[in-house]
A and B are shown apart, each in its own frame.
Chain A
């Protein structure tokens, strides 16, 4: 069955280190998204992509970057991890052009920055 996966599921790192979180979907969806989830804030959009080589900033993009070299993957990189980036990260994808349809979420990655 088609699905969306994230790895690792749990990660502990130190302040200042570069961290990359993987997201892989097998639905052949054009659109992919990264969110972070924090208590009291719900889900906030970090970055998104509407297709290969396309990336866009969301509402909380500072300190994060993404790249889209193929349809299936949208890795999220924390250039220099900070304690404020301790959170649960969710990747999502949707099929319609322009990001205009239902988003399906992965299982999440819990990141702790010490």
Chain B
């Protein structure tokens, strides 16, 4: 089955710097990769996602890149702000075909701290 590894587990940056979180996945049939942000005491909130037919996607200060050959994808946050401090989760989902369960498999999470 699918396995998703996420690194680093913690990340501390200065306000204004960039932050990069990386994930690798094991199942080459996975074709949808969302990123979630979880603030303290709240449920995960989708911030960006990418499908396997796309190499990069941007939304203001957030971008995600996907390398299908290497089976890894990354979240990039530019010009970080204190409100970006949270736990970030990557996930992979296998879609389509017989036997598909459509399950999201999550990475272990990255705690991002943005220092003012």
* A interface, CB within 8 angstroms of B: 31, 33, 40-45, 48, 50, 56, 58, 90, 92, 98-100, 102-108
Contact = CB atoms under 8 A, between A and B. Distances in A.
Interface string B29-67: 000101010000111111001000000000000000000
8 contacts: A42-B6, A98-B102, A100-B93, A100-B96, A100-B100, A105-B43, A106-B43, A107-B42
B49 A43 contact: no
B89 interface: yes
Contacts, number: 55
B104 A45 contact: yes
A21 B42 CA distance: 17
Interface in B3-39: 6, 32, 34, 36
A95 B95 CA distance: 14
Contact of A58 (B6, B43, B103, B108): B103
B107 A42 contact: yes
A21 B34 CA distance: 26
Given A48-B103, A108-B42, A41 B108 contact: yes
B106 A56 contact: no
* Residue in A33, A43, A100, A107 whose Cβ sees the most chain B Cβ within 10 Å: A43
Contacts of A92: 43
B5 to A, nearest CB: 10
B108 A40 contact: yes
A33 to B, nearest CB: 8
B32 A100 contact: yes
B103 A102 contact: no
Contacts of A48: 103
Contacts of A50: 102
Contacts of A43: 44, 89, 91, 104, 106
